[in-house]
Structures are given as structure tokens and as C-alpha cells.
Amino acid sequence: MARRARERSRSLPFEHLPALDVPLPISTGSARLSRENDGSVLLQVNGVPSSHLHPDPEHLVFEYMRWMQLVIDLHLAERGTDAPAPQLAHLGGGGCSLPRAVASAHPGSRQIVVELDELLADGVRTWFDLPRSPQLRLRIGDAREALDSWREDRFDVVIRDVFAGVVTPRALTDAAAVGQVDRVLREDGLYLANCAAPPGTSLLADEVATLAATFAHVGVIAEPSHLSGKRRGNCVLVASQRPLPEGLDRALRSDAVSVRLAPEDRVRALARTGSVIVPR
């Protein structure tokens, strides 16, 4: 019996995990790791679910990350096989679920992940056997400062997934930050942002208005109840100076949840009702 238990333990993925289900000190507080029955691992940061890593790198448990992955796949496919290695920047790292998935699906890609918490970044690099630089580079620091420091026309895709608790810092949602994203994106680049708008707030509309003031094309990926503001949920905002990837709404319909790309008239209505987020 003991031998079988040891064999099962050796067969589990993520062999370098620390103690599970106990608080682990990190630079910004504490983290906790829990293993699920399918071998996946849930990472919580200061009590908030942050990342969920599956043994299959391309299997993303969090819905909004699946939607982002789908948009990235479609966008990179449109670039063609002869295009240079795609360059992606992630503002916010957590457990690096999405960068790990992108690295597996697009092994020629080059990614940089900006993570504020140094101890957390050191941990996830070991715990989850992340690809090494140059395929996946971790940069410790403030996401807005990193964004301001990058040269123009550097990235094909920029992804924002930063939270202080359950709120994205204003410095990453205001018009100045959006302008910086536009600056560091290539001409046909794509911006993806995770927006978790609490019910009864104008946050989603304000973010859409702010993006629409800079980008020619803006999309909102959401479940109907999230789009209407009836309950809190993660919406993915998509912005580009070029049309959004063809067939995006059709591809989203294959997801396990009822998610849609909001119609263009609904996005325009959101932009009209929202207010551009100005820097403080």
C-alpha cells in the first residue's frame, strides 16, 4: 500500500511544489497552493485565486485566460508562418498560466512577464517548471514602469492581467497607460486586458471609452450577465489599430461557457456611456 502511494506521488506533475494548503511567505503577503484531483494546482495570492495550472500547459482552467489564448492563437495565425518570432508582453504574472500555454502552443514565441512580487516569481519559476529565457523571461518590477520603459513598436501582443486585491491599479487603466500600450505595440499589434468590473459600477464602460479614444478597433468578450453588469465577472477587452481577428466570435462559441464577442453597436454604446479614465 505504501509503495503504491509513493508511485502515485512520483507520477504527479509539478514535482517541485512546496508544502500544500499552508500559507507561504511572498513579497506582498502570502500565497497558498492546493492540488486538485486532476493533478492541477490552484495558486491563491493573499486569499484571492490567482492562477490555476493544469498538467497540460495548453489546458487553461480560468475562462478568461482561455478566451485570451484563443484571441492570441487567431492573431498569430493571421501573421503567417513566415513572420518573425512573435514578441509578447504580460503585465502581471501570478503563476504564469497564460505565458506557459503560449510557450507550449507557439514554441518560437518570445515572452516577457512583469511581476511585482519577487518571491512569488522565484517560486513559480521552480514550482511549475516554466520555460527559460529567451522563450519566457520574468522581470521583477512595477508593470507601469516597465511599460513606460519599453521602446516603441516592440511587441505583437500586450496582455494586462494585474490586480491589487480585486482591482486593477488605475495607473494601468488610464488614458496615459493605454497610450503607452499603443506606443510599444507594432502597427498590427493587439492589446488584451482582463477587466473584472463590480456590478453597479461604470468600470467596464470607462475602460471601453478609454480604449476607444486611442484604438480604432475595440472588442469586449464576456458572458451576457457580465456584459449587462448584473454580476461580477472577468471580461476580456481587445483593442487594436487593425480589425480584430477574423472569426473571433464564431471561435468563442466553442467555449464551455456562454461567451460572446459583444456586437459592435453594444461596444459603441458602452464607449458613449463611459468616461475616459484620466491620469491622476
Residue 263 DSSP SS3 = coil
CB 276 within 8 A of CB 210: yes
Residue 155 DSSP SS3 = strand
CA distances from 76 to 52, 105, 159 (A): 24, 11, 14
Decide the pairing of beta strands 217-222 and 260-261.
Answer: antiparallel
Look at residues 182, 183, 209, 214 and name the one whose alpha carbon lies nearest to residue 195.
Answer: 209
| Domain ranges, ordered by start, for the chain | 56-273
**pLDDT beyond 80 at 5:** no
Q: Could you report the per-residue pLDDT of 142-164, keeping only the tens digit for each?
A: 999 999 999 999 999 999 999 88
- State the DSSP H helix or E strand holding residue 239, giving kind and residue range, or none if neither: strand 234-240
**pLDDT beyond 90 at 166:** no
Quickly list DSSP for 204-231: HHHHHHHHHTT-SEEEEEE-HHHHTTSS
**pLDDT beyond 60 at 3:** no
d(CA 59, CA 52): 10
* Residue predicted with more confidence, 147 or 198: 147
Contacts of 39 (CB under 8 A, 6+ apart): 12, 13, 14, 54, 55
Structure confidence at residue 87 (pLDDT): 98
Confidence of residue 83 (pLDDT cuts 50, 70, 90): confident
d(CA 64, CA 235): 7
Which regions of 36-154 does DSSP assign to beta strands (E)? 41-45, 48-53, 87-91, 110-115, 136-140
CB 210 within 8 A of CB 271: no
Burial 83-96 (b: 16+ CB within 10 A, else e): eeebbbbbbbbbbb
**pLDDT beyond 70 at 2:** no
Query: Considering the domain 56-273 in this protein, what is its CATH number?
Result: 3.40.50.150
Burial 103-113 (b: 16+ CB within 10 A, else e): beebeebbbbb
Contacts of 64 (CB under 8 A, 6+ apart): 194, 221, 234, 235, 236
CB atoms within 10 A of CB 143: 25
**pLDDT beyond 90 at 12:** no
Angle between helix 63-79 and 97-105 (nearest 10)? 30
Structure confidence at residue 159 (pLDDT): 98
For the chain, how long is the longest CA-to-CA vector? 65
d(CA 230, CA 225): 5
Structure confidence at residue 4 (pLDDT): 44
CB atoms within 10 A of CB 20: 12
